[in-house]
């Protein structure tokens, strides 16, 4: 039994750091290629481009750093006294799901704003400060997901010590799965949007204020599904049900909210990205484009809400 527990524990430690580093490494390489291309296009602006690229890459690394922190924390935890070694090891899988999946996705997704901000500065070197501001704003929205994953991982880690039955472990695994799968789609959508926003300012600097306002609203709309996944995760951690049937239903509630988040996130991001391109081309029709885009995004979000409601019913109504 102890061997199996150790197997799960070591697997968690490995996957947390390995997958998030993999995502960050691929993302950083994309950003570096874009930086070199931008310097090639506009060699006189190389200082501004390098500054943006270095700040962006430092922020991309957030998910790898979070993976590292969690891995070190789990290694330090080796000697603590737990109620049941086997179920503690099984609960650790929840941490693996929440950190590894979100870290990999966010590492990849957050490279998009950096790439297109560098290329935009190559087009508009005198506008570099405002492009940098927009890049930081979009990056901070994208990284919210990995911070949510981090909260869930910390909560699971503090609860896993008291796990003494299969139901507890199932709840912890479900909680990690919910936030892990749930942030894939919205992260990809946010990356699409950030790409359009950053390259849009490179095309038309006069649209900066309108694109900034639009970014605030759209990014909040795109990341709504992540918030649903977070709420389901928190409910699953704090619920103290010990019925095996109910806990199996909870596992599927997590998968339900996770999978139903994928396509709404991506399509909401694509909608907002097209709207942003249109605003960059012709800022005078801003209010019409914004209204249409928000209406469409509200309709797309309702499909994520169906998944969320069914997940809530699976948690509370299954007896």
Q: Which of residues 20-79 bind other proteins (CB under 8 A)?
A: none
The one-character DSSP state at 160 is G
CA proximity to 236, closest of 161, 178, 304: 178
* 203/113 Cα distance (integer angstroms): 15
- Count of residues in contact with other proteins, rule CB under 8 A: 34
What mask of x and - would describe binding to other proteins in positions 150 to 189, judged by CB under 8 A? -x--xx--x--x----------------------------
Decide whether 119 or 150 has the Cβ nearer to other proteins: 150
Give the three-class secondary structure for 40: helix
Decide whether 121 or 229 has the Cβ nearer to other proteins: 229
* 121/87 Cα distance (integer angstroms): 52
Decide whether 48 or 223 has the Cβ nearer to other proteins: 223
CB 279 within 8 A of CB 289: yes
Q: Is 268 in the site for other proteins (CB under 8 A)?
A: no
The one-character DSSP state at 101 is I
- Burial of 137: CB neighbours in 10 Å, binned 0-12, 13-18, 19+: middle
Decide whether 195 or 210 has the Cβ nearer to other proteins: 210
CA distances to 48, 148, 251, 291 from 235, rounded to whole Å, are 46, 14, 12, 34
* Candidate list 25, 259, 294, 318; residue touching other proteins; CB under 8 A: 294
* Candidate list 22, 50, 68, 234; residue touching other proteins; CB under 8 A: 234
* Of 31-39, 142-150, 195-203, 246-254: span binding other proteins (CB under 8 A): 142-150
Q: CB atoms < 10 A from the CB of 216, how many? A: 11
* Of 4-12, 167-175, 190-198, 286-294: span binding other proteins (CB under 8 A): 286-294
* Of 29-37, 122-130, 148-156, 247-255: span binding other proteins (CB under 8 A): 148-156
* 161/149 Cα distance (integer angstroms): 19
Which parts of this chain interact with other proteins (CB under 8 A)? 140, 144, 147-148, 151, 154-155, 158, 161, 216-217, 220-221, 224, 227-228, 230-231, 234, 237-238, 287, 290-291, 294-295, 298-299, 301-302, 304-305, 308-309
């Amino acid at each position: 039994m102890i061997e199996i527990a150790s197997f799960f524990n070591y697997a968690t430690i490995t996957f947390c750091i390995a997958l998030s580093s993999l995502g960050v490494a691929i993302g950083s390489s994309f950003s570096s290629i874009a930086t070199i291309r931008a310097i090639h296009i506009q060699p006189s602006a190389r200082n501004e481009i390098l500054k943006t690229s270095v700040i962006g890459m430092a922020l991309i690394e957030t998910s790898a750093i979070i993976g590292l922190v969690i891995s070190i924390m789990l290694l330090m935890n080796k000697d603590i006294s737990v109620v049941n070694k086997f179920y503690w090891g099984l609960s650790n899988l929840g941490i693996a799901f929440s950190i590894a999946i979100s870290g990999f996705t966010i590492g990849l997704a957050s490279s998009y704003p950096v790439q297109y901000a560098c290329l935009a500065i190559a087009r508009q070197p005198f506008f570099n400060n405002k492009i940098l501001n927009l890049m930081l704003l979009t990056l901070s929205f994208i990284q919210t997901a990995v911070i949510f994953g981090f909260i869930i991982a910390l909560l699971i880690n503090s609860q896993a010590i008291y796990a003494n039955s299969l139901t507890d472990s199932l709840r912890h695994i479900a909680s990690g799965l919910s936030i892990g799968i749930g942030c894939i789609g919205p992260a990809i959508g946010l990356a699409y949007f950030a790409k359009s926003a950053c390259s849009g300012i490179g095309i038309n600097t006069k649209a900066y204020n309108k694109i900034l306002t639009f970014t605030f609203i759209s990014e909040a709309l795109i990341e709504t599904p992540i918030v649903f996944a977070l709420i389901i995760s928190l409910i699953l951690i704090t619920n103290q049900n010990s019925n095996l049937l109910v806990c199996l239903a909870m596992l599927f509630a997590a998968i339900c909210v996770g999978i139903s988040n994928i396509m709404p996130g991506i399509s909401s991001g694509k909608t907002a990205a097209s709207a942003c391109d249109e605003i960059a081309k012709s800022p005078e029709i801003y209010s019409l484009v914004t209204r249409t885009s928000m209406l469409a995004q509200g309709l797309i979000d309702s499909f994520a809400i169906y998944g969320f409601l069914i997940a809530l019913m699976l948690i509370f109504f299954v007896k």
